[in-house]
Amino acid sequence: MNLLASAKPGLGVALALLCWQAFAWSGSVPADYFPGLPAIAAAGWGLLRSSDFVTGLGTTSVRAVAGLAIAIVIGLAVAIVAGRYPLLRRMLEPLVGMLRALPPPAIVPITIFVLGIGTQLFMFIIAFASVWPIYINAANALAAAEPVQMMTARCFGYSDWEILVRLRLPAALPEIVTGVRIGAGVALLATVAAEMLAGQSGLGFLLYDAAFSLRTPEMFAIMATTGALGLLFNTLVRQASRIVVGWHIAMTALAQPT
């Protein structure tokens, strides 16, 4: 049973790859625009032997991680202050609702004029895109404290800040971790988008160059690499979250059907 459960994710990937290859074999789309898996794998192997690709992979990873780290610091800091002062949280709600709806590529042009093309541009775009799920999850979790626990803490003489730090913040950690996991995926998406529009390196730049040079197998190989990188980010965040909310993960697993 445990072996079958661990194999399920792999079966899903295998099924998707089988459907891809079957569609490529059908000839519904010319092979120049929808190559089969062997052609994509060959292109991917060629990319792995290219120093530009390896460097681009590292550049994209570093940018995404650095931007996500900035977003975590800003998002949690603002959420904690908003949790302490409900008026501030209510004031921020409409602004957050508007800003989170802006797609990262939409703010690239104006950001170039303000920050230029460089590290500052990428850090701003990535942090801007990924901060919202972190802040929203944290702010909502901090605002959803159990009333009985709050009253009990007040009976013991806890101050508002003590209640926030010792009661509300620990209870909000599972939702905060969920926000970080979502933010990690958004950070990678924003990194690739920014590199496609304003970069001269990274996976996004390589993807843009391959697509508009009609190197279709190489384009799909880069897309597959980006997806695998996103899966790696999610796995690393999930493993790191076990240190913070391992107790919650264990309780959730007990409630899941086999």
Residues 6+ apart with CB under 8 A from 39: 31, 217
157: helix, coil or strand?
Answer: coil
User: Can you tell me the distance from the alpha carbon of 125 to that of 108, in angstroms, rounded to the nearest whole number?
Assistant: 7
Report the 10 Å Cβ neighbour count for 119: 12
DSSP state of 1: -
Q: What's the angle, vertex CA 230, arms to CA 139 and CA 122, rounded to 5?
A: 70
34: helix, coil or strand?
Answer: coil
Q: What is the pLDDT of residue 254?
A: 46
CA-based nearest residue to 123, from 195, 178, 56, 55:
195
Task: State both tokens at 53.
Answer: 């690709």
User: Can you tell me the distance from the alpha carbon of 140 to that of 142, in angstroms, rounded to the nearest whole number?
Assistant: 5
Task: State both tokens at 14.
Answer: 């295998």
User: Can you tell me the distance from the alpha carbon of 38 to that of 29, in angstroms, rounded to the nearest whole number?
Assistant: 16
Q: What is the pLDDT of residue 112?
A: 85
User: Can you tell me the distance from the alpha carbon of 195 to that of 186, in angstroms, rounded to the nearest whole number?
Assistant: 14
Alpha helices by DSSP H, listed for the chain, are 2-26, 37-48, 51-84, 86-99, 104-115, 119-143, 147-155, 160-163, 169-198, 203-212, 216-255
CA-based nearest residue to 59, from 110, 114, 126:
126
Q: What is the pLDDT of residue 255?
A: 46
User: Can you tell me the distance from the alpha carbon of 117 to that of 119, in angstroms, rounded to the nearest whole number?
Assistant: 7
Report the 10 Å Cβ neighbour count for 191: 32
CATH superfamily of 52-255: MetI-like (1.10.3720.10)
User: Can you tell me the distance from the alpha carbon of 177 to that of 172, in angstroms, rounded to the nearest whole number?
Assistant: 9
CA-based nearest residue to 175, from 132, 130, 141:
141
Q: What is the pLDDT of residue 192?
A: 92
Domain assignments of the chain as residue spans, ordered by start: 52-255
Instruction: Print pLDDT tens along the chain (258 aa).
Output: 455 555 566 787 888 888 888 888 888 888 788 888 898 999 989 888 888 899 999 999 999 999 999 999 999 999 989 888 888 888 888 998 888 888 888 888 888 888 888 889 999 999 999 999 999 999 888 887 766 666 776 776 677 777 777 777 777 888 888 899 999 999 999 999 999 888 788 899 999 999 888 889 999 999 999 999 998 988 888 888 777 666 555 555 444 555
| Helix, strand, coil % in the chain, rounded to nearest 5 | 85, 0, 15
122-131: b (≥16 Cβ within 10 Å) or e: bbbbbbbbbb
Q: What is the pTM of this model?
A: 0.83
